[in-house]
Amino acid sequence: MSARRTPTPEVPVARIPGSLSLVLPAHNEEANISIVVEQALAVLPTYVDDFEIIIVNDGSRDATPVIADTLAASHPNVRVIHHPVNRGYGAALTSGFRAARGDYIMFMDSDRQFDIADIGLLAPFVGRFDVVAGFRMERSDPLHRRVFAEMFNVAVRILFGVHMRDIDCAFKIFRGDLLRSMELTAPGALINTEIQAKLRRQGATVEQVGVHHYPRIAGEATGGSFRVIRRAMKETVLLWWRMRSYEPPATAPNPQRPYRFPQMVGSAATVVGLPALVAAIRKKIKGE
């Protein structure tokens, strides 16, 4: 695993205006969560004066809940939300967003594949844009996960008109009032697409910044399983249908910009054809 980076002393540190809530969804991350939180506690004071860390234990069956409670008891900046049963990645993030008090809300995975020190790359743009979204410059994941990610990015561009280099990158900072103004419904991995599709409808401004990505060295990844991918495909179709009639709430902070939902020729064919494409790539990967 590559060594973690630290901010370069010669480069001026950009401070984040206001307060920051860091949301950490965690499912069976007993080997990682303590390290992630301790690193965040060490790094965040460099970039923001007022911060909180919200661990969302999403029905973990290992020692994650106990470790999270111990961290909260030891550090006043740390809070914990417990889901008694596993409700999914999207539901975990939504619980964290609802509990967040910060002017800005950041989320990051708890598996140590991201380095909280990379917040220094995003910080100069916070306050200038509604969303500062990281993208993985070199994704440290198996081939099949990278292939599916590229397929999904293309589908999101076509179906929702959202053009992101890496929509599912779990390293983003949002204006808190914008995120809290939305009703989020995706229980699983589609949460990133739902957020970006709804923010686009509100005219939110987005800056994309490259961040580092590291191999998972502890715990077990579930996001790349074919069961999760099939469920995400189903959720994609349902979200696409719901977004056809979506209007931002009247209390949304940003004025709604003129918007036309993507009505591309062949959109239905794209939706229908995705399962066949997934099956073909799965067969190819297994053959290799």
In this predicted model, what pLDDT tens digit does every residue of 64-77 receive, in sequence order? 999 999 999 999 99
Residue of higher predicted confidence among 227 and 273: 227
**Distance between CA atoms of residues 113 and 167, nearest Å:** 16
What pLDDT sits at residue 257?
A: 55
Residue 262's pLDDT band (cuts 50, 70, 90): low
Name the residue with tokens 């579930």: 222
Q: What is the pLDDT of residue 281?
A: 43
> Is the model's pLDDT at 256 over the cut of 90?
no
The predicted model gives 17-40 an average pLDDT of 97
What lies within 8 Å, CB to CB, of 36 at 6+ separation is: 24, 29, 108, 110, 112, 116
SS3 state at 144: helix
pLDDT averaged over every residue in the chain:
83
Domains with residue ranges and CATH for the chain: 19-248+258-287 (3.90.550.10)
Whether 272 shows a pLDDT value over 50: the answer reads no
135: helix, coil or strand?
strand
Between 70 and 156, the higher pLDDT residue: 70
The CA-atom distances, in angstroms, between 60 and each of 32, 87, 114, 263, 266 are 13, 10, 21, 41, 41
State how far the Cα of 214 lies from the Cα of 223, in Å rounded to an integer: 16
| Position 254 confidence tier, pLDDT thresholds 50, 70, 90 | low
User: Higher pLDDT residue, 251 or 287?
Assistant: 251
Distance between CA atoms of residues 24 and 119, nearest Å:
14
Asked if 120 and 257 touch (Cβ cutoff 8 Å), the reply is: no
- pLDDT surpassing 60 at residue 241: yes
